[in-house]
Structure 1
Amino acid sequence: MTLAESARPQVAARPADPRRWAALVLLCTANFMVILDAQAVIMGVPVIAADLGLSPVEAQWILSGNLLTFGGLLLLGGRAADLLGRRRVFMLGTALFLAVSVLSAVATAGPLLLVARTLHGVSAALMAPTALAILTDMFPEGRERNRAFAAWSALAAMGATIGLLLGGALLGWFGWPSLFFVNVPVAVLMLVLSPVLLRESRDASAQRSLGVAGAVLSTASLGLLVYLLVEAPTLGWTSFPVLGLAVVFAALIGVTIAVDRRSAAPMLPARLFRSPIVLGGNLLTVLMAMLAYGMSVVLSQYSLGVLGYTPIRFGLSQSVMPIACVAGAYAAQKALARMTVRPVAVAAFVLLGTGSALLIGISPGAGYLTTVLPGLVVFGLGLGIGPVVLAAAALNRVTPADAGIASGINVAAFQIGGALGVAVVSTIIAANMAATPGPSGALAGFHAGMAACTGFGAAGVVVAFVLLRRAHRGTLAAVPRMH
C-alpha cells in the first residue's frame, strides 16, 4: 500500500465539524442578505431616482450595475476562493458588502450611489459562491448535505419575498437610506462570527495560478452577456447594437474556450461539464431562474401597475410563496434520500410550470383565493424543491480543487437565467401591449408573459429527463472533504 493510499481512509474518516450547523446559519444568512438587499432596492428605485434627480436610464443602472458586476465576476470570485482560501474570500466579500452598504446609505448624489451599487455586485460575487463552497465542504455527503441545501434554498426564497415586504415598510417609515443601513449590523455580526465558525479550506494540490488570460476573458464574456440581456428589451432584440454585441459575445466565448484548453488553471474547466448530471444541473438552474424572475416581473407589474397595490400590500399578497418554498425544500431533501435526482427535478419543474399555468387566469375580476393563491402555492412548492436538487446535481462529484469555481458556475447560471427571464418576459409583455393598446392589451401582455413561464417549466421537464437519466441514488455525494 502506498503512502497516498494509506492516507485516504484518514481523510474520509475525519469527523464532521461540530460547528457546521451554526456555520450553516451564518452562510445562509449571507445568501439571504444578498437576495434581500437586491429585492428591497427594487422597491426603492423610484423613490431614490426622484430624490437624487436620476433620469430613467440612470435609475435603471441602480439595478443593472449591480447585476453586471455580480454576474460578470462570479467565476472569478469562485476561482479566487479556491486558490486564496474560501473563508478569507468570504470575509473579504462581507467586508466590502458592509462598506458599500454604508456608502449607498449616505450617498447624496446619483453617481456615487451608482458606483456603490456596482461595487455591491462585486461583494455579492465574492460572498455567494464562496458561501456555497464552504457549505459543501463542511457537510458530509448524503442526508446532512441535502438538509443543508434545503435550508439554503428555503432562506433564499424567503429573502426574495421578505425583501419586498421589508423594502416597502422601510421606505414608508424611514426613507430609502434605511434600505442600506439595515445591512450594516448583520454584516458586522457575520464578520465577527466568521473566524469562529468557519474553517479555512483550499486544496493543497490545486493549481496555484489564477490563469490571468482566462480570468479576464471569462469575466468579460459574462459581463457582456448580462449587459446584453439587460439592454435587449429596450434596444430591441434585432437591433444592430444587440446583434453586434451578440457576435462579440460569441467570439469571446470561443477565445475563452481556446485559451482555457491551453491553460494549466482554466476558468471554465471542461471536466466540469463532461458529466451530464453537472451540465443538466446548471442548465436547469438557468431555466429555474428564468421562471422565478419572469413570474416575479409579471406579478409585480400587474399588481403594482394594474391593480394599484402598494409595495407592502404586494409583498403580503406574495407571502404564501416562501411558506410553500420552505415546505418544498424540506420535501426535496427527504426525497433525495429515497430516490434519484431525475424524478425530484422533474417534479420541481412540473410544479413550477403548473403554478405558472394557473396564474395565466389573473384578471382584475379574478378572486385572490380562487385564482392567485393556488398558483402561488404550487409555484412556491416547485421553487423550494428546485434549488435543493439542482445545487446537489451541479456540484455532483466535483473535486476539491474545483469546489469554488463549480459553485461560482452554479450561482452564475442562476444570475444569467434571472437576467434572461426578465429580458424575455419583459419583451413579451411590451410587445403585446404595443399590439393592443389599452387595458385589454396590458392584460394580454401579462397573460402571454405567464404563458412563457409555463413554457420554461415544460422545457425544464424535457432537459431533466434527457440529462439526468444516468443519475443513480446516492450519486449526489458532491465534493470530497477538503483540508
Structure 2
Amino acid sequence: MRRSPWATLAVLALAQFIVVLDVTIVNVALPHIQADLDFSADSLQWVINAYTLLFGGFLLLGGRMADLLGPRRVFVAGLLLFGVTSLVAGLSSSPEFLIGARAVQGLGGALLSPAALAILTMTFAHGRERNIAMGVWGGLAGLGGTLGVVVGGVLVDSLSWQWIFFVNVPIVLALVAAIPVFVPDVRHAVGRRTFDTLGAVLATAGLMAVVYGVVRSEPSGWGSAEVVGVLAAAVVLLAAFVVVERRSAAPLVPLRLFRSRALSVSSGSLALNGAAFLSMFFLTAIYLQQVRGDSALEAGVHFLPMGGAAIVGAMLASQLVQRVGTRTVQLAGAVLSVTGLLLLSQADATGSYVAELLPGLIVFGFGILGVGVPGQITAVSEVQQAEAGAASGVVNAMYQVGGALGLAIVTTLSITHTTHELARGATQEHALVSGYERGLLVAALFAVANVILTLASPQLQPTSEQLAEVTAAA
C-alpha cells in the first residue's frame, strides 16, 4: 500500500509535539500539584526532573532499539508507554506515585522520539523534501514547547491539573490507530550490535543519584551520611558506566567522539544552556503564581513572548552563522542569556509585568536559541557522517541531563535562601522573592560559564546545504 510521506510526517510530528509539550505544560500546574498532593518545596522539582532525566538518560538506548528492532515497532511501544503513564500520572494520589509515573513517561518519550526521527529520515529522500520535512518537524516541536504553558494554563484553570496528563490519552489512541495506515515499516540493515542496556541504566542511575544528593543537601546538610553516601554511589555508578562503554563492542556513547574539541565544548555548552533554561522556567512559573498571584492561564500567557523571541532567535541564528560564524553567534546568545536572567532577577512582587518581567523574558528567549542553534551545528562538525546521528544523540542527551542537574542545584540554593530569610523573620512574600532572585542569579552563573566555554569553541561558517543537513540531524 502506497502511503503519502506527508501524512507520515503529520503522525510523527504530532507525536513529537506531545513529547515536547509535556516538558513545559507541567510548569504552570506545579503550584496546584504541590497544594493538592502535599509536595514539599524541595521534592516538587522531581515532577520535572524525573521526566527529564529518564528522557535524556535513555534517549540513546531508544535510538539503538529503533535500529535493531525496527523504528515503527519501537515508536508504537514508546507511544503506548507514554499514553498509559500519562493516564497514571493524572490518577496519581501521592507525590511518589506521580514522580514514578513521570519517570516512566520520560522513558516512553525516549523510545518514541528517536524512532520517529529514524522513520522520518528513511521516508524522505536526502535533499529538498527531507529538509522541508525536518523544518516542519522542528517547528512543531518548538511550537509544542511554546504552547505548552498556555495549554497547561487553560486546562488547569478550566478543569484541573490532572488534565495536563489526561489530554495526552486521546491523542495517543488516535496516533496508534493511524500508524498502520500512514506510517511505513521501514528498516535499514545493521550489523551485529548490542543494546548496551547496562550502559543506559548505569548512566541514568548515576545521574539520578547526583540530583538526589544535591536535593537532599538542603534538609540533611552536605556532610550528612545520607548525602555523602548517595554522592559516593553516584561516582561509582558513573565510573562503572565509563568502564562499560570503553569495553563494549557497540557502546551507547562512543567515548572516542569526545576527542573532538567541537563536540566536547558544544556538549558542555548545551548542558549549561539546558540548566539555565529549565531553572528559569521552573522558578518563574512558581513566582508568577505564588508571588504575583497569576492564574495558571495568566502565567502561561506571560511566557508567550519568550517563546516568540526564541522562534525568531532560531531563525536569525540560522542566518547569522553563515555570515559571522558559529562562535560569534553562540557568544552573543550566551551574553543575551546572562542579560535576560539578570533583568528577571530584579523583579519584585508589585512591579508591572511589562516593565519588570517582559524585557528579561524576551532577551532570554533570543539568547537561549542563539546558543542552541550554533551549538548543535558545531557539535557534529568534526565527526564522520556515519557517526553524526550518535553525536546528535549525545548532544541532545547532554541538554536534557544538564537541565535536570542545573534545576536541582538552582532549586536547592533557592529554597535554602528562602528558608533562611523566613528564619530571620522576613515575610512570606519577601522570602519567596529573595529566593527567586537567588535562584536566577545562580542560573545566570551557568550562562556566564557558557560565555567562557564558548570562547573555546571553533569558528565555523557553514554553507546553506551544510546548515540544512546538520540542523536536520541535530
Partner of residue 252, structure 2: 267
Q: Kindly indicate whether the alpha-carbon contact (under 8 Å) linking 2:265 and 2:454 is maintained by their aligned counterparts in 1.
A: yes
- Does 2:331 match 1:346? yes
After TM superposition, give the deviation of residue 265 of structure 1 in Å. 1.0
When residues 336 and 26 of structure 1 are mapped into structure 2, their CA distance, relative to the original with a 3 A threshold, is farther
Q: CA deviation at 1:183?
A: 0.9
Q: How do 1:323-342 and structure 2 match up within 5 A?
A: 323-342=308-327
Shift of 1:331: 1.6
Matched, 1:315 2:300: yes
Q: Deviations over 1:300-350 (max 9, x none)?
A: 232222222221221122221111111112222223444532222222212
Instruction: Tell me the equivalent position of 2:161.
Output: 176
Contact between 1:279 and 1:467, CA under 8 Å: does it hold in 2?
Answer: no
Match of 1:249 among 231, 234, 257: 234
Q: Give, in angstroms, the shift of residue 376 of structure 1.
A: 1.1
After the TM superposition, which residues 350-389 of structure 1 pair with which residues of structure 2 at under 5 Å, given as runs? 350-389=335-374
Contact 1:78–1:130 at 8 Å: present in 2 too?
Answer: yes
CA shift at 1:271, angstroms?
Answer: 2.5
Matches of 2:439 and 2:39, distance apart in 1: 29
1:65–1:118 contact (8 Å) kept in structure 2: yes
Whether the aligned pair in 1 keeps the contact of 2:63 and 2:114 (CA below 8 Å) is yes
d(CA) in 2 for partners of 1:230 and 1:78?
A: 30
Check whether the contact 2:29–2:296 (CA below 8 A) recurs between aligned residues: no
2:72 alignment partner, one of 69, 87, 91: 87
Q: Which amino acid aligns with 1:293?
A: L
Matched, 1:443 2:433: yes
Larger mean CA deviation between 126-135 and 407-416 belongs to 126-135
> Which deviates more from structure 2 when the two are superposed, residues 194-203 or residues 428-437?
194-203
- Alignment-derived partner of residue 12 in structure 1: none
Report the equivalent of 2:195.
210
After superposition, give the CA deviation of every residue in 1:62-107 in whole Å (9 maximum; x if it has no partner): 5554345334323322322233333332232112212222344455
* Change over 3 Å in CA distance of 1:384–1:418 after alignment to 2: same
For the structure 1 residues 392 and 202, does the alpha-carbon distance in structure 2 shift closer, same or farther, using more than 3 Å as the test?
Answer: farther
Bigger CA drift: 311-320 or 87-96? 87-96
Match of 2:54 in 1: 69
Whole-Å separation in 2 of the counterparts to 1:240 and 1:440:
33
Distance in 2 separating the partners of 1:205 and 1:339: 40
Superposed counterparts of 1:274-289, under 5 Å: 274-289=259-274
Which residue of 2 is the match for residue 419 of structure 1?
A: 404
Amino acid at match of 1:451: L
CA gap 1:453/1:113 in 2 versus in 1, 3 angstroms: closer
* Counterpart in the other structure of 2:205: 220
For residue 131 of structure 1, report the CA deviation from its aligned partner. Answer: 3.9
3-state SS in 2 of match to 1:121: helix
The answer to whether the 8 A contact 1:81-1:130 is kept is: yes
Q: Counterpart of 1:122?
A: 107
- SS for the counterpart of 2:253 is coil
Change beyond 3 A, Cα 1:181–1:207: same
- Structure 1 residue 162 corresponds to structure 2 residue 138: no
Question: Aligned-pair distance for 1:379?
Answer: 1.0
Tell me the distance in 1 between the aligned counterparts of 2:130 and 2:219.
42
Tell me, what secondary structure is at the counterpart of 1:436?
Answer: helix
The answer to whether the 8 A contact 1:153-1:387 is kept is no
Shift of 1:125: 1.7
- Aligned CA RMSD, in angstroms, stands at 3.7
What SS is found at the alignment partner of 1:417?
helix
Distance in 1 between the 2:101 and 2:218 partners?
25
Matched-pair contact (CA < 8 Å) for 1:71–1:226: no
* Other structure's SS at 2:63 match: helix
Calculate the TM-score normalised by the size of structure 2: 0.83
Using a 3 Å threshold, how does the CA distance of structure 1 residues 234 and 161 change in structure 2: closer, same or farther? Answer: farther
Confirm or deny that 1:457 pairs with 2:447.
yes
- Hey, what's the Cα distance between the residues in 2 that align with 1:26 and 1:398? 31
1:409, 1:443 → 2: CA distance?
Answer: 36
Contact persistence 1:397–1:479 (CA under 8 A): no
Q: Which amino acid aligns with 1:30?
A: A
Find the counterpart in structure 1 of residue 277 from structure 2.
292
Separation of aligned partners in 2, 1:40 and 1:264: 40
CA distance in 2, matches of 1:329, 1:350: 16
CA distance in 2, matches of 1:348, 1:198: 38
**CA deviation digits over 1:382-435, x for unaligned, max 9?**
223333333333344656765664444233212222212222222332333344
Cα distance between partner residues in 2 of 1:452 and 1:150: 34
Q: Deviations over 1:430-454 (max 9, x none)?
A: 3333443425444333223222232
Q: Are positions 1:390 and 2:375 aligned together?
A: yes
Distance 1:111 1:459, change over 3 A: closer
After the TM superposition, which of the residue ranges 182-191 and 318-327 deviates more from structure 2? Answer: 182-191
Partners of 1:80 and 1:229 lie apart in 2 by 32
* Partner Cα distance (2:430, 2:472) in 1: 56
Q: Do the aligned partners of 1:397 and 1:480 also contact (CA within 8 Å) in 2?
A: no
Give the Cα separation in 1 of the matches to 2:450 and 2:131. 21
Asked if the contact 1:291–1:457 (Cα under 8 Å) also holds between the matched residues in 2, the reply is yes
